[in-house]
Amino acid sequence: MLWEAAAAVLVIALVLKLFGCFDSVEVSLTSNPSVFTGGITVYYKYHVGAYAGAYRVCRELMQLIPNGAARGFGIYYDDPSKVPAHLLQSAVGVIVQVGSEALVQPIVIEQLQRRGLEKMVIPEISASVTSSCSMNLACALLPANLNPISKMYNAVAEFAKKNSHSTSLSMELYSLADYHFTVHMPLDHVEEFIVPEKITTEALKDRLACAKFDSDASSSESEPSGDEDYPEDPEEEVAAEEKKDE
């Protein structure tokens, strides 16, 4: 039993190491991030709900691109420590062009469009608070205390606060080819990272409440009240008519 327990602990430790849970986090102020040189063209899907769900959507979209060459992204608008999970807003998808360089074939763009994704162009930025490492995107599903992404965000937030940098959103960049993961918190052109579907948390809360009310009302209307006039049984009607004729 002792050996089995030790083996289990070792396996868990190896998995966590693979996910990057024990890696140190480095944060820097990056001038003119190269990934945004010339602007980037993306196709995105607007998402409401826990960010773990957004990661899953992003992985599914990235798997549409062959040979692991996909470059995915996620733009996250809310702080999960301040906004309830069901009200978190994000935009996730894939990068299809950097500057004038196309990253995917036209057929991939057609697939993205058929799935209802929208196109957006994000301009160059002059500076961002940045952190980068190699990790498996599946680590996003780990609990917060083991999650290297949470550790990275804590380090980025601490760096931004210490150096008086302020921004309202973050953009994560993913590469399936080498499991590279980068967080950018842009310090300019921030408004151009916001998709048209994004609304305030209060407006979203009202929208969800109205949708729930309409759903409840619809369910209530579809339930029988007990006062309805139901047609009589056809066989009884025929028997009654025959008796009347006699």
User: Tens digits of per-residue pLDDT, 27-86?
Assistant: 899 999 998 999 999 999 999 999 888 888 888 888 888 766 678 899 999 998 899 999
This prediction has a pTM of: 0.75
> Residue 224: what pLDDT?
57
CA 27 to chain centre: 23
Residue 210 lies in a domain: no
The CATH number for 136's domain is 3.20.80.10
Q: Domain limits at 152?
A: 28-201
The count of structural domains within the chain is 1
- Which token pair is 113? 């469009």
Residue 195 lies in a domain: yes
Residue 156 lies in a domain: yes
> Residue 178: what pLDDT?
67
Residue 218 lies in a domain: no
Residue 170 pLDDT more than 50?
Answer: yes
How far apart, in Å, are the Cα atoms of 214 and each of 76, 182, 202, 219? 29, 41, 18, 9
Which tens digits make up the pLDDT trace of 92-121?
999 999 999 998 889 989 999 999 999 999
